[in-house]
Structure 1
Amino acid sequence: MNRHRIGLILGPVLFCLLYFFPSITDLGDAPRAVLAVTAWVAVWWITEPIPIAATSLLPLFLLPLSGGTEESTATMAYADPIVFMYMGGFTIALAIEKWNLHKRIAMHIISIIGTSSNRIILGVGIATAGLSMWISNAATALMMLPIALALIKEVKEKNFFDDKSFHSFSKGLLLTVAYSASIGGLATLIGSVPNAALAGVANRMLDVNITFANWFMFGFPVSIVMLIALYFYITKIQFPVADTKNISSDFAHSQLRGLGKMSKEEKLILAVFSCTAGLWIFGGFLPFELTDTTISMIGATSLFLIPSFSEKGGLMRWEDMKNLPWGLLLLFGGGLSLAAAFEDSDLTSWFGEILTNLQAFPYLIIIILLSAMVLFMTEIMSNTAVSNMLMPISIGLASGIGVEPYGIMAAVALTSSLAFMLPISTPPNAAVFSADYLEIDDMIKAGFWLNILGIIVVVLAVYFLQPLVFSF
């Protein structure tokens, strides 16, 4: 029996056990119902007997039917502002992809940084991470993979390296695409699903508004440190290349020539993107209030208003929205619905009481253990599922040990995005593994030590930087 069939049965069974046998938890009716629904949804998120997005619809009817919370509480979470902020960001990302602006940006970065093997890897890493700050890591990896494969093909055809160096270069370049796509997403609220989940849960359960700028001040330094560490680890330790010749300096320029002159549409989209990103980061200095969601919606809507010069209608047309990841928006809604029910039923306090035993451990040890647990869970589970399950519980953990919840929540958000060991861990890992230049051992060996490094960086950031940034 495969995991899908096991999960299909196990989810409802756990629900029935927790819901119909109160002695198991000694909880009241409402919190017991929320716990039972959470168990069902969590099992189906993990085992995927139906699509994850479809599973995310379960709280809509299970919570009110079981008495966990009112229907209005369960349903309103699907229209949370963070959902619409992400929708706007996705729309802008679709426009960038539609008009091929992402490839122009990547090629400009590569042409500026240089064309030795290490500089190529650095340039691809910076381009990938930079795009992943604003575009989903899966989409970024898929955008950058053809560029990386073209560079590998160029190296192979021109015989720049011996066999050993060629394999090191090709493996290092592909893993840089995968890993930097995940690392770049740490920097912004829209770059990674767990980051947005943190902001949404904080708003729902703690009545705290973590803005784009708040997270950027915390996440961007973490992303930079991880990207620097990735570059030196890949090029100096795991896949060093003995450079004999530089890769053709004309490669990036020939790619740019193939793209032609920057179109009016690209310039307009770049302007919209720049204004939106600028307002997200510096909007707090304006004399009037602009929320991140409002900024996102203004940017996205403007793409439909600004006319295109080469096709009828605006820069974006509604038919372009068929590529929007609607399922991911439902995932946000499902996670936030459970979080709202946790708060409404006071289930969080129950978790807090259970976890008071952890008070015996120093806060630093708790962060280390939590980060390691979450990271290795994410190796075999969706980071969305992990963050949606653990974010509300992390608030209970913080309450139980008597600390502010933001550090624990940040540790969950960051480490659930840093799975590097397996092709199934993240979409970028799967994308580059499909190129046939990598073996599973390459990813496991490189990814294991990057996982360890990720835990160290996250723990230090949470322990020292987070209290300075999240001072609510």
Structure 2
Amino acid sequence: MKKHRSLNALSGPLLFLVVLLVLAPVIEFKQAAAIATIFWMGLWWVLRPVNIAVTSLLPIPLNAIFGMVPMDGIISKYFSEIVVLLVGSDLISLVWEKTHLDKRLAIKSLCGLGTSMREQICVWLVASTLLSIFLPNVVVVMILLPVAVSMLRFLGQQQITNNPVATPILLAIVWGAGFGGFGSPLGSSSNLVAISYLEKLTGHEFMYVDWVIRFLPLLFIIMLLILAYLLHLPLPV
């Protein structure tokens, strides 16, 4: 296991060097180094030979070595508004766990919904989708996951990883938050970028209501398709 972990750790810098050597003759060296950094981080995020926090800090030492962009531009990204927002959502989750509010909400959800897997999947998917329309996707996941995990543990499902009971419920939360973000301009920062681009392209103001009217039907169709897929998974009793 330790040997396998060491090989996974070495695969990141090796992939970085390979991508850098391949791209350096084609494009500028700094651009090649930036793309190689993305490949290194992506591989480590998948294999996870080190903590995710270590992987997230890779741009700092790599940029210091290769000088891809000014260093203040890199450092400032770690203190951007979205990072502060994610820290706040983490603090909310920690407070919920410390005060056992997540357990209280989990018990209330069990009392109101029952232990039917199909009902649980439907409610978690709809709840995460609706919240994600107005809140950032990651914040929705950080708020709902502790409640769902506490509910599962209350039912005796202590091992969450590779658990046939936990998987459909957690997928419902993550997928609902993922595609629910395009339901309104507030759901994701990329939506605001898209609106800004459309306004520059057309020369007309793109209203909030126009976005909602056009995307809500598509959002509803996608939610039904995902719900149908989750309900057709082999669900335990």
TM-score (norm 2): 0.61
Q: Which residue of the partner structure matches residue 189 of structure 2?
A: 199
Letter of the structure 2 residue corresponding to residue 199 of structure 1: S
1:223-249 deviation per Cα after TM superposition (whole angstroms, max 9, x unaligned): 742564256425xxx4587xxxxxxxx
Aligned position for 1:86: 86
Distance in 1 (CA, whole Å) between partners of 2:231 and 2:108 is: 22
Aligned residues: 199
1:179 to 150, 158, 171: 171
- SS of the residue aligned with 1:27? coil
Q: Quick one: distance in 2 between partners of 1:92 and 1:23?
A: 43
Q: Within 2, Cα distance between the matches of 1:138 and 1:112? A: 18
Once the 2 structures are TM-superposed, how far is the Cα of residue 45 of structure 1 from its aligned partner?
2.5
- Higher RCO (Cα < 8 Å, 6 or more apart): 1
Aligned position for 1:147: 154
Q: Secondary structure at the match of 1:49?
A: coil
Seq. identity, %: 19
State whether residues 187 and 222 of structure 1, in contact with CA within 8 Å, keep that contact through their aligned partners in structure 2: no
Which residues of 2 match residues 249-398 of structure 1 at below 5 A? none
Q: Which residue of 2 aligns with 1:426?
A: none
Deviation, structure 1 residue 184: 3.9
What does residue 229 of structure 1 align with? 228
Q: What is the alpha-carbon distance in structure 2 between the residues aligned to residue 227 and residue 181 of structure 1?
A: 11
Whole-angstrom CA distance in 2 between matches of 1:12 and 1:186 = 31
**Alpha carbons 2:106, 2:150 under 8 Å: kept:** no
Distance 1:239 1:93, change over 3 A: closer
Mapped partners of 2:85, 2:66: distance in 1: 31
| One-letter amino acid of the counterpart of residue 8, structure 1 | A
Cα distance in 1 for residues equivalent to 2:190 and 2:224: 26
Q: CA deviation at 1:18?
A: 4.0
Alpha carbons 1:4, 1:49 under 8 Å: kept: yes
1:97 aligned partner, one-letter code: E
Is 1:124–1:177's contact at 8 Å kept on the other side of the alignment? yes
Distance 1:8 1:108, change over 3 A: closer
Residues 189-244 of structure 1 deviation map (CA, whole Å, 9 limit, x = unaligned): 6xxxxxx9x737986xx889xxxx979x769747742564256425xxx4587xxx
1:11 aligns with 2:7: no
Alpha-carbon contact 2:9-2:44 (below 8 Å) kept:
yes
User: Is residue 44–residue 50 contact of structure 1 (8 Å, CA) maintained in 2?
Assistant: yes
- Aligned to 2:68, the other structure's residue is in SS state coil
**8 A Cα contact 2:128 2:180, kept in partner:** no
Query: Counterpart of 2:155 in 1: which secondary structure?
Result: helix
When Rg is computed on C-alpha atoms for both structures, the one with the higher figure is 1
Counterparts of residues 58-207 of structure 1 (less than 5 Å): 58-113=58-113, 120-126=116-122, 128-129=124-125, 130=127, 134-136=140-142, 139-149=146-156, 173-186=165-178, 199=189
Q: Counterparts of 2:83 and 2:152 in 1: how far apart (Å)? A: 28
The answer to whether structure 1 residue 39 and structure 2 residue 35 are counterparts is no
Cα deviation, residue 123, structure 1? 4.2
Contact residue 63 and residue 71 of structure 1 kept, 8 A: yes
Rounded to whole Å, the distance in 2 between the matches of 1:85 and 1:3 is 36
Amino acid at match of 2:120: V
Paired residue secondary structure (1:26): coil
Q: How many angstroms does 1:51 deviate by?
A: 1.4
Please tell me whether the aligned partners of residues 11 and 41 of structure 1 are also in contact (alpha carbons under 8 angstroms): yes
Gaps of 5+ in 2: 132-139, 158-162, 182-186, 199-208
